[in-house]
Amino acid sequence: MTFRPPALTLLLATALALPAAAQPPAPEVLRIAAPDAAARDALAELAGHLVVEPDSGDVLVEADGAVHALLARLALDWRRDEAASAGLAAQVQGASRSIPGYACFRTVEETLATIDALVAAHPTLASYVDIGESWQAGNGPSGAGWPLRVLRLGNTEVPGDKPRLFAMSAVHAREYSTAELMTRFAEQLLAGHGVDAEATWLLDHNEFHLLLQANPDGRKRAEAGVLWRKNENTQACPQANASPTSNSHPGIDLNRNFPWRWGVGTGSSTSACNGTYRGPSAASEPETQAVRDYVTAIFPDTRPGDPLDPAIAADPDTRGLFLDVHSYSRLVLWPWGYSGSPVTGNDAALVRLGRRLAWFTEYTPQRSLNLYATNGTTIDFAYGELGVPAYTLELGLAFFEDCAYAEQTLFPDNLAALRYAARSLQAPYRLPAGPDADQLSVDAARVPRGDQVTITARIDDNRLRAVGGTNPSPQPPPVTVTGARLYVGTLPWQDGATGLEMAAADGAFNASTETVQLGLDTSALAPGRHLLYVQGRTANGAGPPAALFLEVVDGDRLFADGFESP
């Protein structure tokens, strides 16, 4: 695979905002030869974002004077990466044309307008709530700032207590692709309801809470082509407002400001001008407070006992999922991230789901700390405080992602991963232990009542990314599929659900991938459209179901629609 030059961290003021004499030097990317964990932690705390190549262990980092000084102090071997430096310079120069140069990504205003349009078009499926406001809205000049708006999806005409997905994106301002991915996820679900069986059952039986622009103040700065990371709290590092440089800028790193293990060990900075400045206190920022309060309101606490005991496990029957979507590095990360932390009490289950998600994207799945230490992060907070499984998705190859790559690879691959996550919301610690179901088909999607139809599906336990990353709990290899069941009109966990055993198409369940079939007699089915669910199983458990539609029509409709009269 050809390496594509990434854009790395440490914030860079746009050349248009500075007089020529004050312009920062051209961005430079250094390649550091396989530094150890302590050196990675030190670099990450200073630089905010690193790319760690999984095969070589080399680290790429955007360099300034402070980074050079740290490399000298640590006596690390490094060289300038000419290709990556040129690529970063080109990206920053292109970004200075502002976000219209990236036509595949919506601005803050366009994202909010999309929310309004989706709610207007789908009143029973979509709504929104403002959970707080940005720092500038409460502290800036009149008219500044933005609402923190959560788009809520779910069919209000289907009653019941439903599992929830909370996902936030663009908490680091320059990460263009994140908000766009989640906006497209919402659009895809809503457009598919009533048309696509999977989108229909996901919206009927789950809730989705999507904070698409988690740092709108910072994002507006980034839309001008600035490699901006933090929020716009100008009281932090105020001197940078008058004379910004690549590593000196105002604001708080919101993903170091959350209350779980805030400031513990390495992984954030106490220097207000650094990219990973954690703020003066835990949850000091209005953006952090809004997310903290909303998430604790929609998820019950399923991790009993002392929440600061890192080894306590959450209830394995916990429902729901927390996602924080970032870019870039092609990673799937789970807790813990703070330095010196042991594995979580739910480590094996977190590994399984992480590797299932990474299968769709070919990303590297690993525990967050195994990349480098972080503290005060969203996923450590969500899992630590509430026991909800929590993941960071690091999308793609660059902050200002190339639109061709985004459209052809990043969006479709990650949308597939998100839909798998959604199918697992009922039991995310349990369902990924079982095999996946896909390639569902029926030999006639619209049949006369009383006819038999054949349902076919593939049950596959190989859909996991079992390579890459260093994990304390190795994922076992795929295991033999032991069976599959078909459920008509009810999900496997709903009251009254009765599964019909499906047969192996080759006559025996003896492989980790099996094609299964069932001849379904439609005599007992009422006329109308039915959702059919297929769920596979292995000795490790049953996996997330997949769905398809079957329409049954009676004799009168058969005749009226041109079928042969009974």
* pLDDT at position 352: 95
| Cα distance between residue 437 and residue 423, in whole Å | 11
Round to whole Å and give the CA distance between 209 and 162.
Answer: 12
Map residue 164 onto helix, strand or coil: strand
Going by the DSSP 8-state scheme, the letter that residue 409 receives in this structure is I
Tokens matching residue 438:
């896909």
Angle at 547 between CA 442 and CA 443, to 5 degrees: 0
The pLDDT, as a whole number, for residue 470 is: 57
Which residue in 358, 335, 363 sits closest to 347, CA to CA? 335
Phi, psi angle pair for 469, to nearest 5°: 80, 160
Low-confidence residues of the chain, pLDDT below 70?
1-27, 47-48, 54-55, 64-66, 83-84, 86-102, 241-248, 467-476, 555-566
List the structure tokens of 97: 């044309």
- pLDDT value of position 305: 86
Contact 152, 127 (CB under 8 A): yes
3-class secondary structure, 21: helix
The position carrying tokens 């990466």 is 81
CA 448 and chain centroid, separation: 43
Query: Shortest CA distance to 421 belongs to which of 117, 215, 210, 258?
Result: 210
Q: Which domains are assigned to the chain? A: 101-423 (3.40.630.10), 434-560 (2.60.40.650)
Write down the pLDDT at residue 318.
98
